[in-house]
Amino acid sequence: MSRTIHYIYDPLCGWCYGALPALQALQAQTGITLQMHPSGLFSGAGARPMDSEFATYAWRNDQRIASLTGQRFTERYRSQILETAGLRFDSGPATLALTAVHLAQPERELDALQAIQQTRYIDGLDTTRTDVLVTVLQAQGLGTAATLLTASDENLQAHNLARVEQARSLMQQLGARGVPSLAVNMDNQLYTIDTSEAYTNPQAFAHQLATA
């Protein structure tokens, strides 16, 4: 049986990074269509400057995610991103980059999200910078998306706004308070998916959704 899974996320969400193996396992399942919805949760009014208090909170949270999921958060990320004065916690640029991928090669959006997450959490590079994001997309063979991001024209901006608005509408419909949020479309109705097993047993989580 084929089914559509809706994934609401933010590229700067640590728990979304923790859930990445489960999303990859889901995408690999026969009969599953994964629709990705960037929420813009940490952009616009949700963005903020980085400071020592936030860095301490974020690193503590990241260590919980690493312990539960096995995902890596490096010391380079801690020193170059969390503890570097003047940086912002703003997912707007990365969200725009992912919309560029969605327009150019939508089937590669999860790949692009993984690359952006690893660039931040493993390589310790600032993914709020457009030049960093362009380099990431080019390295992934997403040259058309990189060109769209560089131009950042009205069409890209409009598509990005529409995607964020759709994600927030879905969150409201589901009663979701944060990200990651997953929902399945069955019999023309949306049902929220419990993501707890996604962090601890991603393969079983994906298999259960594909076969239930």
Going by pLDDT thresholds of 50, 70 and 90, the confidence category of residue 123 is: very high
- The residue with tokens 């801690």 is 78
pLDDT at 1: 67
Query: Looking at residue 188, what is its pLDDT?
Result: 86
Architecture of domain 3-211: 3-Layer(aba) Sandwich (3.40)
Measure the N-to-C terminal CA separation of the chain; round to a whole number of Å: 9
**Per-residue DSSP letter, 49:** E
The residues that bridge with 106 in the sheet, in sequence order, are none
33: alpha, beta or left, given left = phi > 0 and alpha = psi -120 to 50? Answer: beta
> Per-residue pLDDT averaged across 121-145, rounded?
99
- As a residue count, the chain comes to 212
Phi, psi of 69 (to 5 degrees): -110, -20
Please tell me the predicted confidence (pLDDT) of residue 102: 99
β-pairing, 181-186 vs 88-89, is: unpaired
User: Over the stretch 187-203, which tens digit does the pLDDT of each residue have?
Assistant: 889 999 999 999 999 99
Give the tokens for residue 131: 């030049």
Q: What is the mean pLDDT of residues 22-45?
A: 97
Q: Distance (Å, rounded) from C-alpha 51 to C-alpha 189?
A: 42
Decide if 180 contacts 15 (C-beta within 8 A): yes
Answer whether residue 80 shows pLDDT above 90.
Answer: yes
| Vertex 24 angle, CA 100 and 123, to 5° | 65
Task: Say whether 192 sits in a helix, a strand or coil.
Answer: strand
Q: Give the burial class of 113: count Cβ atoms within 10 A of its Cβ; 0-12 exposed, 13-18 middle, 19 or more buried.
A: buried
- Model's pTM, two decimal places? 0.98
Question: Once rounded to an integer, what is the mean pLDDT over residues 143-172?
Answer: 99
pLDDT for 2 equals 85
